[in-house]
Chain A
């Protein structure tokens, strides 16, 4: 397995050389996935919290639905978004296919159920402790949702982080709707897929190692944040 050692060497060389193409790809990956997660959190957090707090007919079904969607294959999301944005599709006139916007939308669709489902679980676990207290303090249903979200904010970082991990690591959706166009829609995962298909396993693995390094840094930052919060009794 000479590839393994070579991959580490190559990864180090790429970073050390400050390869502009590489940094463009990393920047685009972060941009797409961070924005997608931001959108998914804006939708998924209140959605999950509402599912946890509200009682309505069909709630059980909705919970199962979102839990199931957590396992949605990225390729399927990619395909659905492709069919929507294809010139032959209902939203084709927008001309969004093979753009960064389409990639962000696809990843947001992929990640929203993950954040919503994890949020619902977290909030539902917290609800017994808070429910009566909030009621006697005069909080209505909307205030209840907002208070639980805010008080769970550091725990919810984990849910958002899970979404980010999913987004930054997936290739199936972005390669279909983005097209892996050099300098336009090429991100780390699609670049890895491309280098693998070229048989350049060392470069592919090098990119993979950089991806893992980024994931480690992001996770480390969030963990540090949570630890600080925990010491302050906020988490």
Chain B
């Protein structure tokens, strides 16, 4: 199918348009966090105002009451969405936190796609022992409880950091959760892409390319990869949605973004501790998170309907908003195409 035509059709789907607009608005708002902090809220993401008072509708109010309860939303420039227990501006932290959450999710998504495509092409093209080895590796990651694997890696690496050879990620780096999430989700995409690569390998146009004397690498990148693009386009927003949820889950359990750096997950986690007194600390990041994930999931579904109407990619990696993701055991391989098993 012509992908450009598909993209145009995607733009004619009203719910896809709305979802895309919401997601774009969230991204732009988060990118403008420094502007908002400087010109509207007049404070920074880590600045505390515990002992200060502000004037709300003519009355003087303490930012954090003597009993430790922060003020709720003022709906004015300063403390628009209220303060947290340290007297920090929730709206400012929400935008800065969104930067961290979205940055992690975006890096993780790109990493997952690159790794999954590499695994799929190499395993599907070479076959044999390489294929078996890579498949067993995917099976192993797949059959490990995803959230538990993420938490285990997150907790251990948050202490020590990791040496990747070409670069070293120190504990507390945002790239640590991104790396973990990116690796954990590789099998969900690599399996269907590998099946598709194997199927494409037997097609006439690949034979023709081989007859012309093209090298394996060129056939993989020039002939097979373009044919995987529609699957990749369907998977990208899906991975993004799951990566945002995963970051929040990891941070909630203390294995993701490390305080005092804000992220939507750490903010909800901090808000949960103050629960009955300050529900705005949970609601503000929670609803923002939900809006971002719903938009990404709606985009994924619309993209799937347009690009890949018969694809069995439906048994995709998103079940039950993260609490766990279906660990499909090694035995049954993913169906390659729309054929019944």
A, B: real partners: no
